[in-house]
């Protein structure tokens, strides 16, 4: 079903490619209504248009806040062309049908990136634009609505194909895109206002995102998947290699979450299946990679390496020695890219422009959404309490905090063993904390050379409910342990640690990761 387009409203903040539109509208003798800056631009380009205020015989008021909110416009858009009563009412009021709406909104989201000035942001909340779009989208059976320059070419082709009309199929598609846009636009505003009131869990919650890419598949080939971003693109940039998969992205962000907690321009993280299999904060870049790799070189095969620094030629040559799926760096120099690109499938990810970590994490199950604050608390010594008789040196305390920081990024139950701010054994994802201890110990014994003088650190993401976990660690060389407090047996644990002659530090916070 098609209806010839005779009259259009154009109101644009993004006036790119407007000339292309105007030439087509002129070709099909479509009359244009416009206002403000759009009206001036149309006339400047040499095309005719009628100002909305002249058409409605009502001046813009309130400094331009009210200019398109008029029954003559909305009756023209919303009338059902095959409804006799609607036709009579239009005729009675001397209203014309309006068949095409070309509108984009005040750039609220772009303004939000540039300023924190609340008044400026409020003035960039569009009212008339979304109202016009919603009206046209509701009446898509008869009315065409365009909300982005990306739609212009498809519209022009359809208009030409139908000799001045548009197909119902296109109008329905454009309607769906219009409602997606108005929902997105309101969601951005809603989140901004919620954040200004520190209301992260409002009664009604909307989540928005821009499609970045439809992925090859999800975790498995039979699952469909896509990645969205709150920006128009991701803050990470792929320099080369195969297309990223769902699992790749999951691992990349797991690695970056740890890298962001390491000292600036320092440290290496290796991840496999979203769990770290090696982390080092050694300030020697090459050595940090070697120590992270040494923690579990078997698991690292086919894994993801995140270097919390710019990758140079020397580092690239080292990374090229084993099979890796992804290498992340805070930039790459030309020589390193040349070396690493020789492996055509190897993905290189530049994370130098990565923004701040999300404040809220979102997961879903069945028809429920779970929201929680991100566990990205920056540790300070005030968060911890030395409870053993033996006190740690500054270096040992720093090593304890390093191990505990890694531990919170390991799937629960989590145990991390470290030495000199490099992991030497990681036990993850076990229902029993004691089993996680045994896995971490087995990894350490398999891949590390331990001397009698080594100070081995043990970290647990939650408290040990019994002394058996601590006993197992100490029997295998651990001499300093960090864990959250909160067990009814905390006093028993402290007493046991003193009996064994080890350092015990309690954290005020627990750090499960499920």
Q: Give catalytic residues, as residue numbers.
A: 138, 273
Alpha helices in 209-296 (DSSP H): 246-259, 285-295
Sign of CA dihedral 226, 213, 103, 170: negative
Nearest to 300 by CA among 267, 333, 262, 272: 272
Tokens for 329, please give them: 């760096």
Q: Contact at 8 Å (CB) between 304 and 323?
A: no
The torsion defined by the Cα of 77, 44, 40 and 170, in degrees rounded to 10, comes to 20
Rounded Cα gap, residues 417 and 295, in angstroms: 10
For residue 262, the 8-state DSSP code is S
133 Cβ contact list (under 8 Å, min separation 6): 101, 103, 145, 147, 178, 181, 182
Distances in whole angstroms, Cα of residue 266 to Cα of each of 204, 289, 303, 497, 513 = 42, 10, 20, 33, 24
Strands 144-146 and 100-103, how do they pair? parallel
Sign of CA dihedral 54, 58, 64, 68: negative
Length, in residues, of the chain: 514
Distances in whole angstroms, Cα of residue 456 to Cα of each of 147, 418, 451 = 61, 6, 10
For residue 140, the 8-state DSSP code is T
Nearest to 422 by CA among 391, 393, 399: 399
The torsion defined by the Cα of 312, 313, 318 and 321, in degrees rounded to 10, comes to 130
The count of C-alpha atoms lying within 13 angstroms of the C-alpha of 55, restricted to the half-sphere facing its C-beta, is 26
């Amino acid at each position: 079903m098609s209806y010839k387009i005779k009259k259009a409203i154009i109101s644009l903040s993004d006036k790119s490619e407007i000339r292309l539109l105007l030439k087509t509208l002129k070709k099909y003798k479509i009359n244009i209504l416009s206002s403000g800056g759009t009206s001036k631009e149309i006339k400047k380009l040499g095309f005719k248009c009628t100002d909305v205020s002249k058409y409605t015989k009502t001046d813009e008021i309130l400094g331009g806040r009210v200019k398109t909110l008029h029954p003559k416009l909305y009756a023209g858009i919303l009338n059902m062309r095959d409804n006799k009563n609607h036709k009579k009412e239009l005729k009675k009021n001397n209203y014309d049908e309006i068949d095409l709406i070309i509108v984009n909104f005040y750039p609220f989201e772009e303004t939000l990136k540039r300023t924190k000035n609340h008044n400026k942001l409020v003035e960039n909340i569009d009212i008339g634009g979304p109202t016009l779009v919603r009206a046209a989208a509701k009446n898509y059976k008869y009315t065409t609505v365009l909300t982005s320059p990306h739609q212009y070419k498809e519209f022009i082709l359809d208009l030409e194909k139908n000799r001045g009309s548009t197909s119902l199929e296109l109008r329905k598609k454009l309607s769906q895109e219009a409602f997606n846009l108005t929902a997105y636009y309101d969601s951005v505003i809603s989140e901004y206002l919620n954040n200004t009131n520190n209301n992260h869990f409002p009664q009604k919650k909307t989540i928005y995102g821009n499609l970045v890419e439809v992925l090859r598949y999800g975790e498995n080939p039979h699952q469909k998947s896509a990645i969205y971003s709150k920006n128009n693109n991701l803050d990470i940039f792929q320099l080369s290699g195969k297309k990223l998969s769902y699992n790749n992205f999951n691992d990349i962000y797991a690695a970056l979450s740890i890298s962001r907690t390491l000292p600036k321009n320092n440290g290496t993280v290796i991840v496999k299946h979203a769990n770290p299999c090696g982390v080092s904060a050694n300030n020697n870049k090459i050595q940090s990679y070697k120590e992270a790799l040494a923690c579990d070189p078997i698991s690292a095969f086919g894994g993801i390496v995140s270097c919390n620094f710019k990758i140079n030629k020397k580092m690239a040559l080292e990374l090229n020695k084993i099979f890796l799926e992804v290498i992340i760096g805070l930039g790459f120099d030309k020589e390193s890219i040349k070396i690493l690109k020789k492996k055509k499938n190897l993905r290189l990810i530049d994370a130098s422009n990565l923004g701040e970590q999300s404040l809220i994490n979102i997961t879903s199950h069945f028809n429920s959404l779970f929201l929680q604050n991100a566990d990205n608390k920056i540790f300070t010594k005030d968060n911890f309490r030395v409870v053993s008789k033996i006190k740690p040196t500054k270096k040992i305390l720093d090593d304890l905090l390093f191990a505990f920081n890694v531990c919170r990024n390991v799937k629960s139950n989590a145990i991390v063993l470290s030495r000199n701010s490099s992991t030497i054994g990681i036990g993850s994802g076990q229902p029993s904390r004691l089993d996680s201890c045994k896995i971490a110990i087995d990894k350490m014994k398999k891949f590390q050379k331990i001397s009698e003088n080594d100070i081995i650190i043990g970290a647990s993401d939650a408290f040990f409910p019994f002394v058996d976990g601590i006993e197992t660690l100490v029997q295998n060389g651990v001499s300093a342990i960090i864990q959250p407090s909160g067990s009814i047996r905390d006093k028993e644990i402290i007493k046991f640690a003193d009996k064994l002659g080890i350092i015990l530090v309690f954290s005020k916070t627990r750090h499960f990761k499920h």
